[in-house]
A and B are shown apart, each in its own frame.
Chain A
């Protein structure tokens, strides 16, 4: 029957082609809309994944008295009784189920010398895993060669400052490549305060601290420390276009060094002052520990576990949920618009087939007279609808794919003009291709249902009477 259907369709090629084009346009709009919806969702997902916002738990100590939310302060242990957020706590957190890594946030204000001029800015340690962060999209130079390499990456605005270029108001942002060229490979000298444990005897002998002697008895390992002024030479390896530390607001750094290096330098941290009188074991206490979780779905569980340890936590996992909901609604709406186009196309199929019945009345009569059953006639019209659906589906998917691609290209041209990196905002998954073709066939068959049964019911004597 399909064979017969195809040849019948070829007979009124123009009308059937137009009908098929109608289906194609319906399918195409469906595919284009959904592929853009899916593409946008994936883009957002990728961005968020790379930004590390949704799989990150920020841990702070209650001891610093600025919990991210007040409930915790009332429910958990009192700040004075809560544990210190030190290296052993960090290791404990890193051991938790589904935790990829837990690293301290190390940042400090430092004086840097570049070509004999001093600059004061905030330095932060970056874990090696930050390499894949989208903040480094469009970076000039390279990421750190190792986790302890004496290398730094500059933020664009700081690079401009080092070069003495102050951006004028209203002028376009400086080109990162121009800024990087004279700086890459150059050396900076950093002045910083190192915190070194002082041997207990030395401390007691030299400073004669009465308070220190009491804690000395409970833990003789490191009850006191010295602060030494040091210098280190660092090489500029990269200048980044975006701001890797944008989340930090006021405290954001404009120059970055490998985290391990920062730890090894034992730079004095603000929390060191706070816990000067309290740290008994000589371990440095961290202001903040950032925890990376395997996937956003496990964030809640990890957060709960860390809270149980007596720390304050913060994550934006709830935001992902509402974001997903938003995309589900977006996809639904885009799908509805696409389906409307397909509905119009299906009316076209019904119209074409009903017209075909009128036109081919006699043919149907002949077929019945020579022995075609109702089922044969119905099957033939049904097959014609199906063939139009198959063709329409395939052409439509190709068309939709092309439309999505064109929109994507157009968007990227726009993005480029606005100095953004290109993005894939359009994605056609396999299930959409198969689903759209299947949908086109199903819609066509449903549209063929009425004309086919009408053709099957035709009275052969009536149909043959008109000459």
Chain B
């Protein structure tokens, strides 16, 4: 996978402006995201922190183009997601962002290879090329031996590695991860985080990771954004994580 263009490095890749996502639940109006304005530079590793219900996942969904804002803008690489059609938004999810979830979200009826191949199908990549690309991606996360297995036959760590392979298959510039280690023990969690950091460092991918574990954020992210009740309550850069060797050596 080619590294992101150097011209993009240090340029603003994502910016949100007074971004709101409100929805009704019965009679109460829930302000999941309430006037958030942030800027993310290309190549950053951003952790979105907050307690559950703070709106961090809702913000991630808006950036991922899975949800539309009630008001405000999300601009990713100069295109305003709020103004894209459903079709264009699907294309954006397919090519520009890759997503990883806490619950892996692999399709249980498909083998790993088929799961990883799925975005290539949607991208209408030729049948004869798909297989090779998917195998290559699974090889990268160390799952070459598990191509024909179904997700349920694998451990959580293996499933999350497969979903990482799937997120990368269409070579997106952004990796959006929603509690990627939430369902994993600390050792496999570290394994996954090391992969994510590797993508950030070697591929130059911009990472936005939702987590409620501050320690995890401090260990890997170079920026931490704190949310509470849908509002931005803190934004700090994190120098510790820049020293990857120390963390790798130190474990948890």
CB of B90 within 8 A of CB of A369, answer no
Q: Which one of A201-209, A230-238, A372-380, A390-398 contacts B?
A: A372-380
Name the residue among A7, A362, A376, A461 with the largest chain B CB count within 10 angstroms: A461
CB of A371 within 8 A of CB of B119, answer yes
Q: Which residues on the A side are within 8 Å of B93 (C-beta)?
A: 368-371
Task: Give 26 CB contacts A-B under 8 Å.
Answer: A4-B121, A11-B109, A363-B107, A366-B106, A366-B107, A368-B66, A368-B93, A369-B64, A369-B101, A370-B94, A371-B93, A371-B94, A371-B95, A371-B123, A372-B90, A372-B94, A372-B118, A373-B87, A373-B94, A373-B122, A374-B90, A375-B87, A376-B90, A460-B66, A464-B101, A464-B105
For the complex, what is the distance from the CA of A374 to the CA of B103, rounded to whole Å? 23
- From the candidates A369, A371, A373, name the one contacting B86 in the complex (CB within 8 A): A373
Q: How many residues of B contact A (CB 8 A)?
A: 29
Q: Which residues on the B side are within 8 Å of A172 (C-beta)?
A: none
**Is A354 among interface residues, defined by CB-CB distance under 8 A?**
no
CB of A370 within 8 A of CB of B87, answer no
**Is B99 among interface residues, defined by CB-CB distance under 8 A?**
yes
Seen from chain A, the residues whose Cβ lies within 8 Å of a Cβ on chain B are 4, 7-8, 11, 362-363, 365-376, 460-461, 464, 467
Q: Which residues on the B side are within 8 Å of A464 (C-beta)?
A: 66, 101, 105
A8/B91 contact (C-beta < 8 A), A370-B99, A374-B86, A467-B103 known: no
For the complex, what is the distance from the CA of A369 to the CA of B65, rounded to whole Å? 8
A371/B109 contact (C-beta < 8 A), A376-B122, A464-B101, A467-B103 known: no
CB of A369 within 8 A of CB of B66, answer yes
Nearest B residue to A376 via CB reads B122
Q: Which residues on the A side are within 8 Å of B213 (C-beta)?
A: none
**Apart from A7-B114, A370-B118, A464-B66, what are 18 other A-B pairs with CB-CB below 8 Å?**
A7-B110, A365-B105, A366-B106, A369-B93, A369-B101, A369-B105, A370-B122, A370-B167, A372-B94, A372-B122, A373-B87, A373-B91, A374-B90, A375-B87, A376-B122, A460-B66, A461-B67, A464-B101
A461/B109 contact (C-beta < 8 A), A368-B66, A368-B93, A373-B90 known: no
Q: Which residues on the B side are within 8 Å of A373 (C-beta)?
A: 86-87, 90-91, 94, 122
For the residues of A in contact with B, the DSSP-based class is helix
CB of B61 within 8 A of CB of A461, answer yes
CB of A370 within 8 A of CB of B91, answer no
- Chain B, 31-74, contact with A by CB distance < 8 Å: what is the 0/1 string? 00000000000000000000000000000010010110000000
**Is B166 among interface residues, defined by CB-CB distance under 8 A?**
yes
For the complex, what is the distance from the CA of A467 to the CA of B179, rounded to whole Å? 14
Q: Which residues on the A side are within 8 Å of B101 (C-beta)?
A: 369, 464
- Chain B, 82-96, contact with A by CB distance < 8 Å: what is the 0/1 string? 000011001101110
Nearest A residue to B106 via CB reads A366
CB of B95 within 8 A of CB of A370, answer no
Name the residue among B64, B86, B91, B122 with the largest chain A CB count within 10 angstroms: B122
Seen from chain B, the residues whose Cβ lies within 8 Å of a Cβ on chain A are 61, 64, 66-67, 86-87, 90-91, 93-95, 98-99, 101, 103, 105-107, 109-110, 114, 118-119, 121-123, 166-167, 170
Name the residue among B67, B94, B107, B170 with the largest chain A CB count within 10 angstroms: B107
For the complex, what is the distance from the CA of A370 to the CA of B165, rounded to whole Å? 12
Nearest B residue to A11 via CB reads B109
Q: Which residues on the B side are within 8 Å of A8 (C-beta)?
A: 109
Question: Nearest 6 A-B pairs (CB), nearest first?
Answer: A371-B94, A373-B90, A371-B93, A11-B109, A366-B105, A460-B66
Q: Which residues on the A side are within 8 Å of B105 (C-beta)?
A: 362, 365-366, 369, 464
CB of B166 within 8 A of CB of A370, answer yes
CB of B103 within 8 A of CB of A367, answer no
Min C-beta distance of B237 to chain A, whole Å: 29
Q: Which residues on the B side are within 8 Å of A370 (C-beta)?
A: 93-94, 98-99, 118-119, 122, 166-167
Q: Which residues on the B side are within 8 Å of A7 (C-beta)?
A: 109-110, 114
Q: Which residues on the A side are within 8 Å of B64 (C-beta)?
A: 369
Q: Which residues on the B side are within 8 Å of A368 (C-beta)?
A: 66, 90, 93
Q: Which residues on the B side are within 8 Å of A372 (C-beta)?
A: 90, 94, 118, 122
For the complex, what is the distance from the CA of A461 to the CA of B178, rounded to whole Å? 13
For the complex, what is the distance from the CA of A149 to the CA of B32, rounded to whole Å? 107
CB of A371 within 8 A of CB of B107, answer no
Min C-beta distance of A370 to chain B, whole Å: 5
Nearest A residue to B109 via CB reads A11
Q: Which residues on the B side are within 8 Å of A369 (C-beta)?
A: 64, 66, 93, 99, 101, 105
Q: Which residues on the A side are within 8 Å of B67 (C-beta)?
A: 461
For the complex, what is the distance from the CA of A369 to the CA of B166, rounded to whole Å? 11
- From the candidates B90, B103, B106, name the one contacting A371 in the complex (CB within 8 A): B90
Q: Which residues on the A side are within 8 Å of B95 (C-beta)?
A: 371
Min C-beta distance of A361 to chain B, whole Å: 12
For the complex, what is the distance from the CA of A186 to the CA of B107, rounded to whole Å? 88
For the complex, what is the distance from the CA of A124 to the CA of B121, rounded to whole Å? 81
For the complex, what is the distance from the CA of A140 to the CA of B110, rounded to whole Å? 70
For the complex, what is the distance from the CA of A461 to the CA of B101, rounded to whole Å? 12
Nearest B residue to A463 via CB reads B66
CB of B118 within 8 A of CB of A367, answer yes
Nearest B residue to A456 via CB reads B86
Nearest A residue to B98 via CB reads A370
Min C-beta distance of A4 to chain B, whole Å: 7
Q: Which residues on the B side are within 8 Å of A374 (C-beta)?
A: 86-87, 90
CB of A461 within 8 A of CB of B87, answer no
Q: Which residues on the B side are within 8 Å of A371 (C-beta)?
A: 90-91, 93-95, 119, 122-123, 170
